[in-house]
Amino acid sequence: MDAKRDTVAETRSQAGEELPHVYIDDILSSLKYYVDEDEPHLQIIAGDVCIRCAAKPCLYPCSVGAYQAQDSGVVQIAYHSCVECGTCRMICPYDNIRWKYPRGGYGVAYKFG
């Protein structure tokens, strides 16, 4: 993938085109969130299961760092910042994450262009 990106960049560079630099923080800061305070779309089902889960794979893939572990081993999800990529719905070996899309009118709003 990086090699392909390099090839595209090289081709464009030879054609005199500059690829724009893209920073994830800039993209994230352009998003709007309509947070549903009454009905979180992501939840840990059983906190005690997380305490016994040593590896905690849910802490690693989220691009916005929504999953945080407390010293007690309990995991909390900052669902307010979720960009709805769906990665974490597949990562838990104990099926301990309740995941659904936010209700209509809530969730992240992307701006393209």
| Chain positions contacting ligand SF4, by CB under 6 A | 42, 44, 49-50, 53, 56-58, 61-64, 66, 75, 82-88, 92, 94, 96-97
What is the 8-class DSSP label of residue 79? G
- Any idea what the Cα angle at residue 49 is, between residues 71 and 54, rounded to 5°? 55
Considering beta carbons, is residue 9 or 109 the nearer one to ligand SF4?
109
CA angle 39, 42, 43 (to 5 degrees): 90
| Smallest gap from residue 19 Cβ to ligand SF4 (A) | 26
Nearer to ligand SF4, 22 or 54 (CB): 54
Distance CA 70, CA 33 (A): 25
Closest CA to 55 of 19, 99, 94, 16: 94
In whole angstroms, how close is the CB of 107 to ligand SF4 at the nearest point?
A: 10
Nearer to ligand SF4 (CB atom), residue 35 or residue 53:
53
Indicate the residue among 10 and 94 with the shorter CB distance to ligand SF4: 94
